[in-house]
Amino acid sequence: MPEIVMREAIKMGLEEALENDPNVLILGEDIGAYGGAYAVTDGFLKKFGPERIKDTPISEATFIGTGIGAASAGLRPIIELMSISFSLVGFDQIVNMAANLRYMSGGQIHVPMVIRAPTGAGVQLAATHSQSVETWLAEVPGLYCVCPSNPKDALGLLRTSIKSNNPVIFAEPALLYGLKGDVPEDYYEIPLGSASVSKEGKDITLLSYGAGMSVINDTEKILSSKNISAEIIDLRSLNPIDYKTIGKSIKKTNHLLALDTARKNGGIMGEVVSNIQEDFNDWLDGPIIRVGAKDVPWPYNKNLEGAAYPSAENIVNTILEKLIKV
């Protein structure tokens, strides 16, 4: 398996879709001649032309709405936002239009559209460019919402998202664009709504998604050095959520830690923990631990941003204090 970085895996999925389906087009700010804010669409304008690679005005509500119209008419648009924070000015189009048209038309109108956007903190983009709004959008019926943590999953989930007949929020952790990982040469897809057990263990289940998986992996290494066996689950999909995989793990380990790198207040793990408590409480031998970023605006200063961001060391200390006595 070749090793590539995440932005190249995403680029591969986009290029593949453009080549194989004439109905696929990409809309967004500076995606053409500039090649995209994170260089994901670099070279696409020259290869596919301005009819399919469309630079848009600085108006997210306008070009998201254009995408919805195009999708309703039978095309498969891919919308690129410079930041998921900018989805806020397009929320009416995303939440009221894209998510509801199929339901309100009795299934007559489909919106096969993907909205791609870098998300999350950790790269010093300050308060207005470091939001994790995918945790809000995951609440909306009619929207799929995924957030990959590695190049392999990014490509597999993107392939499935582009083929979906429903709108998909494809949140790309900005912190991970340069992350390297093995990607199979053979074609594959990853179903939306499927979590992944990336490591098996027996003492505690560690659950996160996106950029949080790097923190979880570091946490597992520290726990392993203390002879604590952790099972790791990558949620991958925030809507729908794969409770079957999570529940199976809890029945084995009887303990759960859930990590949001988004702010703890209002994070997706609050919903996950609530449902786990309702459906798998009898299997838990201790309280569920929920960890998230500090409830503050994201600082620009690197040290302050790091202090607001969850760390493996703090997570391990919490586990040892609340759940497991070494």
Q: Is 60 a catalytic residue?
A: yes
Given the structure tokens 């489909």, which residue do they identify? 110
DSSP codes of every residue in 231-262: EEEE--EEES--HHHHHHHHHHH--EEEEEEE
The closest alpha carbon to 77, from 100, 110, 45, belongs to: 110
Distance, CA of 76 to chain centre:
20
Catalytic residue chosen out of the listed positions 8, 60, 134, 220: 60
Residue 85 · residue 130 · CB < 8 Å: yes
Catalytic residue chosen out of the listed positions 8, 29, 80, 129: 129
DSSP codes of every residue in 205-229: EEEE-TTHHHHHHHHHHHHHHTT--
Q: Is 110 a catalytic residue?
A: no
Report d(CA 27, CA 64) in Å as an integer: 8
Report d(CA 81, CA 282) in Å as an integer: 43
Nearby residues of 130 by Cβ (< 8 Å), 6 or more positions away? 85, 120, 121, 122, 123, 298, 305
Q: Which residues participate in catalysis according to the annotation? A: 60, 129
